[in-house]
Amino acid sequence: MKYSLINCYSDYNKGDLGIILTTVRFLQEIDKDADITGISTYNYSDPFYHTQHKLLSKSIPVSPSIFGELNIGKRKDPFSKVLRFLWDWIRFKMMILFKSTFLLSSHEKKSFTKLKDSDYIISKGGSFLCDEKNLRIKMSLRRFMMIFNLINYLIPNSRIVILCQSIGPIYDKGSRNALNKIFEKCHKVVLREDYCLREYPYIHIPSDKLIIRNDIAFHLDSVPIDLPFKNFEKMKVGMTIKSVSATQKSQYENMMKTCIEHIIDKYDVNIFIYPHVTVDDDVEESIKVYRMLADEYKSNVTVFTDNYQSGELKYLYSHMDYFIATRLHSSIFAIGEGVPSLVIAYHGTKAQGIFHNIDLDEWVVNDYETDLSFLFDKMVKEFDKEKLVFKMKEDRKQTLECMSSVFRKVRW
């Protein structure tokens, strides 16, 4: 069968790439003849389309987006983005009105043909179906919804599967209604956690379409590389650090600094801070926290700046004794390798819901006032690693069973 994965983002977001690569591998496991293509989140005219999928393109061909990200080449000013969004919105409305693809570019038409020829169109995992209280993110959600609606109107027999996503928050009432209509037309909606349904009761997914599973990237294949550390005698603690909102930045950075100094004092550990999303400023923020440390602690801390691929990071994380993650998928990669992990939640319900799925609720940090040092000490004493390893084996089996039930052979 033919599958198209829409909304493929970036090699440099290691979690996103890990989601896609694992989805591809699982599709190949359940369907030996799977013909899989990716549809980028970037338009052909966007330089990012040509630079952000070099690793993914080694596994599947990646076609340009229809209604792509609003980078507009080198013009990233807000005015240009709004103009581009309005033009895409007009194009979308005109094509729906005339039931034609006449306003698609030649590259977009090729991508549309791939979607039309697919047995299943898969909106791959993540948490991009959400908005914020600002215009940029609201436009982003509307852009994502345009491709769903274009498919529904112009390819009426399509089978769209939302696979292993979190939904929300969605602040705009119009967006809520529009997204609920999309859910009604989906073949299946597989959520990676149900906390979003509890937290956001305005999300309505028909019960016959709804499945709760888990994040598929737990089961990404690790890729062995030469280890960039040699001392195996000391306890090793992995970390990921990211930039947070300006109003919380100082509190977050102090929480991380205090915890690092505490665990070095108490356990004489080596701490390794990894760059999990190099398309953002993870490296810069990690270096900033490192510089905040008292000098006597710095020799125990290493900040990596290499652009490791997803599977390589998972392999590196597997050599940690413990992990403290702000980037959600760094904790998912570590847990998938059986490494006890804390996760610092920062958006929506994804961390809380995913950790709840595997009975790890107590290891979620919900605010930056948490005593992270105390929680780490508790993890060292109480975390049941054997139970985690067993859960991961069961989770892999259940995810494959779920995908086998969703992606049945199509009979037209």
What is the tens place of the pLDDT at every residue in 336-347? 999 999 999 998
Tokens 């491709």 appear where? 147
Whose tokens are 């930045």? That residue is: 249
Least Cα distance to 400 among 172, 205, 210, 219 occurs for 219
**Judgement on whether residues 293 and 184 belong to the same structural domain of the protein:** no
User: Are 193 and 246 members of one domain?
Assistant: no
If one counts the domains in the chain, the total is 2
Q: Which pLDDT score, from 0 to 100, does residue 77 have?
A: 72
The range of the structural domain enclosing residue 10 comes to 2-217
Q: Indicate if 205 and 60 belong to the same structural domain.
A: yes
Instruction: Tell me the two tokens of residue 31.
Output: 């369907």
Report the C-alpha gap between 339 and 238 in whole angstroms: 10
| Residues 122, 23 share a domain | yes
Q: Place 410 in a pLDDT band, splitting at 50, 70 and 90.
A: low
Residue 227 lies in a domain: no
Q: Are residues 156 and 208 in the same domain?
A: yes
Q: Is residue 87 situated within a structural domain?
A: yes
Give the residue-averaged pLDDT of 68-94: 80
399 located within any domain: no
Q: Give the tens place of pLDDT for each residue, 243-290.
A: 999 999 999 999 999 999 999 999 999 999 999 998 888 999 999 999
Question: Could you tell me what percent of the chain has a pLDDT over 70?
Answer: 97
- Please tell me whether residues 23 and 108 are part of one structural domain: yes
Query: Do the domain assignments include residue 256?
Result: yes
Closest alpha carbon to 113 in 63, 153, 69: 63
Domain co-membership, 46 together with 171: yes
Is cis: bond before 64, omega within 30 of 0? Answer: no
Give the tens place of pLDDT for each residue, 177-216.
999 999 999 999 999 999 999 999 999 999 999 999 999 9
Express each pLDDT in 7-38 by its tens digit: 999 999 999 999 999 999 999 999 999 999 99
Residues 164 and 272 in one domain: no
Distance CA 265, CA 297 (A): 8
| pLDDT score of 135 | 79
Same domain, 356 and 241: yes
Split at pLDDT 50, 70, 90, the class of 134 is confident
Q: Is residue 398 part of a domain?
A: no
